[in-house]
Chains A and B, each alone.
Chain A
Amino acid sequence: DSGVTQTPKHLITATGQRVTLRCSPRSGDLSVYWYQQSLDQGLQFLIQYYNGEERAKGNILERFSAQQFPDLHSELNLSSLELGDSALYFCASSVGGVSPLYEQYFGPGTRLTVT
C-alpha cells in the first residue's frame, strides 16, 4: 500500500458524459501527479500540482482539467468523454516539487470505461 488513495476504483459511463476522479496523496506529500495508461498511448503524464498550484502540464486534453484543494487532495475532471478516453488513470504523490529527485508513489488507479 503506497498511502495514495484513489476513488472510485471503477467507473463506467457513456460518451459525452463528465466524470470526476479523486486522489488523496500520502500524508505530508505536497505534489500530486496524474497519469493516463491506455492500450494505445501507454503511460502518459497529464498534469502536476504542487501545494495547490499547477506546476507542470503534459499531454492533457483541453476536455480534461484538474485542481488541487487546500487539504491537498486532487480531482481530475474529464468531460465530453469519448471511447478513446477509456483507460486506467493513476494519481501519484511526492514530497517535493518539480525535480524527480522526489520519489513518486502511485495510487491503485481508477479504471474508466466509456461506452
Chain B
Amino acid sequence: AQTVTQSQPEMSVQEAETVTLSCTYDTSESDYYLFWYKQPPSRQMILVIRQEAYKQQNATENRFSVNFQKAAKSFSLKISDSQLGDAAMYFCASGGGADGLTFGKGTHLIIQP
C-alpha cells in the first residue's frame, strides 16, 4: 500500500520568485516512481516531472526540479522563476507494483503578479 501526503493546501508566490511544494510518501514497494502532476483550471492532468526511486540524482525539467530524500521519504517540487501560467493544483503521486498511481490531496498554487 502507498500513501502520499501534501501538507500545504495552498501556496502563494510572487511572479519570478521561487516556490517549493512539499510531499511525503510511504510505500512498501522496493521499486517505485514519484511524480508531480499539474492540474490547471481546465482540469487536464499534466505530468510535470518524475523521479525514479533508484536514481540518486534529482530530476530537473527546465524551471522545475525536485529534492528527493529517499531515507526521509520526501519529494518536494521547486519551481523557479514562477510564471502566471504555473498557477494550478499540483499533485504529488507515487507508483509502484500493480496499484496504479496514488495521489496526494494537492496544493493550490497561486501566482501573484
By a beta-carbon cutoff of 8 Å, the part of chain A in contact with chain B is: 2, 33, 35, 42-48, 55-56, 58, 88, 90, 92, 98-101, 103-104, 106, 108-109
B100 engages A56 (CB within 8 Å): yes
Number of chain B residues whose Cβ lies closer than 8 Å to a Cβ of chain A: 26
B98 engages A106 (CB within 8 Å): no
Contact code string B70-113 (vs A, CB < 8 Å = 1, else 0): 00000000000000000000010101111111111110000000
A100 engages B43 (CB within 8 Å): no
List the count of A-B residue pairs having beta carbons below 8 Å apart: 54
Determine the distance from Cα of A108 to Cα of B35 in the docked complex, in whole angstroms: 19
Contacts A35-B101, A42-B105, A100-B35 given; 10 further ones with Cβ under 8 A? A33-B101, A45-B102, A55-B98, A90-B45, A92-B45, A98-B98, A100-B32, A100-B95, A108-B42, A108-B44
B43 engages A35 (CB within 8 Å): no
A48 contacts across to B, CB distance below 8 A: 98, 100
A108 contacts across to B, CB distance below 8 A: 42-44
Nearest Cβ on chain B to A112's Cβ, whole angstroms: 13
